[in-house]
A and B are shown apart, each in its own frame.
Chain A
Amino acid sequence: MKDIVVALVGNPNVGKSALLNAISGAEVKVGNWPGVTVEKLEATFIYKNYKIHFVDLPGVYSLRNQTAEEKVTIDFLLKEKPDIILNVVDSTNLKRNLYLTVQLLELELPMVIALNIWDEAVEKGIVVDYEKMSKLLCVPVIPTSAKDKTGLNELLDKLIDVYENKKFVQCEHFETQIEEYLKKVINLVSEYQPILLDLFPKRYLAVSLLEGTLNEPITSSLEEKLKQIREEIKSLYKKDIKTVIVEERYGVVLSIYHQTVKKQREDVVDSSITLDKIFLHKYLGIPIFLLLVWIVFEITFKISSPYVEWLDKVLGVVSSWTLSLLDMANTPDMLKSFVAEGVLGGVGFVLVFVPVLFTLYIMIAILEGSGYISRAAFLMDRFFSSVGLSGKSFIPLLLGFGCNVPAVYATKTIENEREKILTTLMIPFMSCGARLTVFAFFVSVFFTSNKGLVIFSLYLIGIGVAVLVAVLLNKFYFKTKSQFFIMELPPYRLPTFKYVINTAWVRVKAFIVEAGTFIFAMSVLVWFLTNIPYGAKKDETILANVSKKVAVIFQPLGFGTWEATASLFSGFVAKEVVLSTMGNIYVGEKIQEEKKETSFTEGIKEIATGFIDANINLVKNFVSIFGFVKKEEEEFDKSLADAIRSAFNPASAYSFLVFLLLYTPCLATVFAIKQELNSYKWMFLSIAINFTAAWIVSFIVYNVVKDFL
């Protein structure tokens, strides 16, 4: 079996990943390109005794080596030298797409062009003489449609054919004068710095030397000669060299376009433009957007919650089975506790995120695939540009109020690296649902008369600090002076069901594998900290001892006790466990879930009925999104309330809540940041920023309010 490496290259929004999905289905793997936040898709597919390895390069408009996407693309093409470039182009938007094609031809790699979205072109009455196009470009051209699954086998056959007869014909399609200059440059290189000829394809080398964009040091004598040529061209064409090259390329593109593309009719009504008249409407656009976002938010969290509860039940059953098994084997208590709380608890921490992430990824795939996400950015740009962000940050930040973990993963939709980092660092300040349970408990103890106001103030503090952090980072870290915003508004398209589900599944799989290991390991570590020495009193565990030492730093904030410190520590793991940890620490007895023996058949029954319940609740929740929701009043543990009342006063309680709001939300978020930004540096910085912000703001708040409360 022969291995073929095929690199998919094309503009953004041309359906590259949809094409990859259509060819290889669930074989797609998702990862990150090293050192950048750009997503990497790969798939290996066996076809006719060939193992074809597809690498989906990020969508780019040119090979200029300026954006992160362009760097990844050009680096891969020049250094990894794939066997074949598969240039995916949008048949309905050929002029701009072929501009990249013309640049790709300069790389002297075997190439096949997929005229993708062919179905839409046919529908729009666009006729492309692809055989003639193939002759003019000197590379094979195959019409394809990921939606209708047409042209896929022809494409694979052509890839094999090109691989077997490795031939590359360089079209010299610029005007003669320029071609002469390019030859001159090559002669100069072989005279002054011949090594470059081994490193780069000739034509690419000549063009980028002339443009002065080559990413490689050049000797001064060569640079001197190049300067002369640039001057010559400038005086000849009355334009600088970069403009000349761009115009040459567009000249080639337009000539090919006019020779091969016929529009049978000029559509008077373009459905995308009509839809934009509604979705981007000056006054209606934003209300419609807010409505859609609200639906996305509700679906993401409500649709998934019955399954989260169900998974919780399954884990309960599994852990009771495990305990019975361990009992039978006469296992010591410590090991039982380790397995039940450390190991299975860790698995639980990972699994509870799966339903919510899966729904989120479905939402994202729909938003991205339909083209609406760009409209969202367009509408919200005005509000975010002042903080140095673009409109694309809105959705991730908003999701943060539900849960920070999916919110961090939702930053996938932001291409600009700086904006993505900033948004990711802002998300932990968005107060999530898990924090709300702690707030609600404290508020019901200390601030009964104005519950709503206190909780609302916390949300506002979170948002305020997030904006402040973004402004400061922009000013002192990124030092951005001017930013620009030029974004394509792709035509509206209906993403296929298979594409949506596949993309979501591929991303969830990556989460389970990577975040799973990390969160699991941390959960085991936490078990050790809270349980060792085993059987010791609650104030003699490792955690308690560490907390006693650390507590002093919380003194100025009003809650410098080891109990409060230990509670914060558990909040670092997950905000969901803060109240139960506090119960353990303040009340002393473990809030034990009723222990019951579950027989195997009972367990299976429970899991099955639980799953049916989950589906019923799904329908209920779905209805409640569009109807009225009856909120159940939560009941709080009375003994814990009493203990808290004596341990805190209103001022220190409020300060404690502010701290809880602002410091790192949970380990899962920490890991999500690492995975999404592909960097430990930002992960640690995020923790540091959150902790510092929490300390400073709590300090100020405590000292301001202690005289009033």
Chain B
Amino acid sequence: MKSLRDLKPGKKGKVAYITGCEDIKQKLYDLGIIPGETVEVLQDAPFGGPIKIKVHDYCLALRKKEASCIMVEEER
């Protein structure tokens, strides 16, 4: 189990739970980041900027801070 933040670009993970970010938990849910869903990290921005992930059939950008709230089971 690791946070989405620690997932390298190109790696996929299955969302286990969301922790710490109570204020954005709901927002993440609305966007389809729910336990059991697979997310893939596609790219990261320069200078420690946001990361780009794929969930369902679309792409989302979120900051490292938010990514660290999403706990995932890395797929190998």
Binding site for B on A (CB under 8 A): 61-62, 64, 66, 92-96, 99, 242-243, 246-247, 250, 272-273, 276-277, 280, 282-283, 285-286, 374, 377-379, 381-383, 385, 482, 484-491
Contacts and interface: CB of A to CB of B under 8 A. Distances in A.
Given A282-B45, A378-B61, A95 B34 contact: no
Contacts of B24: 484, 486
Of listed B21, B27, B28, B49, residue having the most chain A CB within 10 A: B49
Contacts of A94: 57
20 contacts: A61-B30, A95-B56, A96-B58, A99-B30, A99-B32, A280-B52, A381-B61, A382-B45, A382-B46, A382-B49, A484-B24, A484-B27, A484-B62, A484-B66, A485-B66, A488-B31, A488-B60, A489-B52, A489-B60, A490-B59
A485 B45 contact: no
B63 A93 contact: no
A485 B32 contact: no
Contacts of B28: 486
Interface string B13-40: 0000000010110111111101100000
Contacts of B61: 374, 377-378, 381, 485-489
Contact of B34 (A246, A485, A490): A246
A247 B24 CA distance: 16
Contacts of B21: 484
B7 interface: no
Given A93-B56, A489-B61, A484 B23 contact: yes
Contact of B57 (A95, A378, A379): A95
Given A94-B57, A378-B61, 13 more contacts: A61-B27, A276-B42, A276-B59, A378-B49, A381-B49, A382-B48, A382-B50, A383-B47, A484-B66, A487-B60, A488-B58, A489-B60, A490-B58
B44 interface: yes
B64 to A, nearest CB: 10
A247 B35 CA distance: 9
Interface of B: 21, 23-24, 26-32, 34-35, 42-50, 52, 54, 56-63, 65-66
Contacts of B31: 61, 96, 486, 488
Contact of B45 (A62, A273, A378): A378
B59 A379 contact: no
A266 to B, nearest CB: 11
B46 A283 contact: yes
Contacts of A247: 34-35
B45 A486 contact: no
A485 B59 contact: no
Nearest to A379: B45
A484 to B, nearest CB: 5
A276 B34 CA distance: 25
B66 A276 contact: no
Contacts of B34: 246-247, 250
Contacts of A486: 24, 27-28, 31, 60-62, 66
Contact of A96 (B27, B43, B45, B56): B56
B63 to A, nearest CB: 5
Contacts of A381: 45, 49-50, 61, 63
A61 B62 CA distance: 16
Contact of B32 (A250, A282, A374): A250
A383 B49 CA distance: 8
A652 B9 CA distance: 57
Contact of B49 (A95, A246, A379, A490): A379
Contacts of B43: 276-277, 280, 282
A494 to B, nearest CB: 18
Contact of A282 (B27, B46, B60, B66): B46
B26 A242 contact: yes
A64 B26 contact: yes
A280 B45 contact: yes
A381 B30 CA distance: 23
A382 B47 contact: yes
Contacts of B56: 93, 95-96
Contact of B46 (A64, A286, A485): A286
Nearest to B32: A96
A490 B34 CA distance: 20
Nearest to B43: A280
A242 B45 CA distance: 32
A279 B31 CA distance: 24
Contact of A62 (B23, B30, B35, B44): B30
A387 to B, nearest CB: 15
B58 A93 contact: yes
Contacts of A286: 46
A595 to B, nearest CB: 59
B8 to A, nearest CB: 13
Contacts of A64: 26, 30
A92 B46 CA distance: 29
B63 A484 contact: yes
Contacts of B29: 242-243, 246
Nearest to A272: B59
B37 to A, nearest CB: 8
Contact of A485 (B30, B52, B62): B62
A282 B44 contact: yes
A277 B59 CA distance: 13
A487 B59 CA distance: 9
A93 B56 CA distance: 8
A377 B63 CA distance: 12
A67 to B, nearest CB: 9
Contacts of A62: 30
A83 B76 CA distance: 51
A66 B24 CA distance: 11
A385 B61 CA distance: 14
A272 B61 CA distance: 14
A625 B49 CA distance: 31
A285 B46 contact: yes
Contacts of A246: 26, 29-30, 34
Contacts of B59: 272-273, 276, 488-491
A490 B35 CA distance: 23
Contacts of B54: 273
A478 to B, nearest CB: 15
Contacts of B30: 61-62, 64, 99, 246
Contacts of B65: 484
B66 A93 contact: no
A487 B44 CA distance: 14
Nearest to A385: B63
Contacts of B50: 378, 381-382, 485
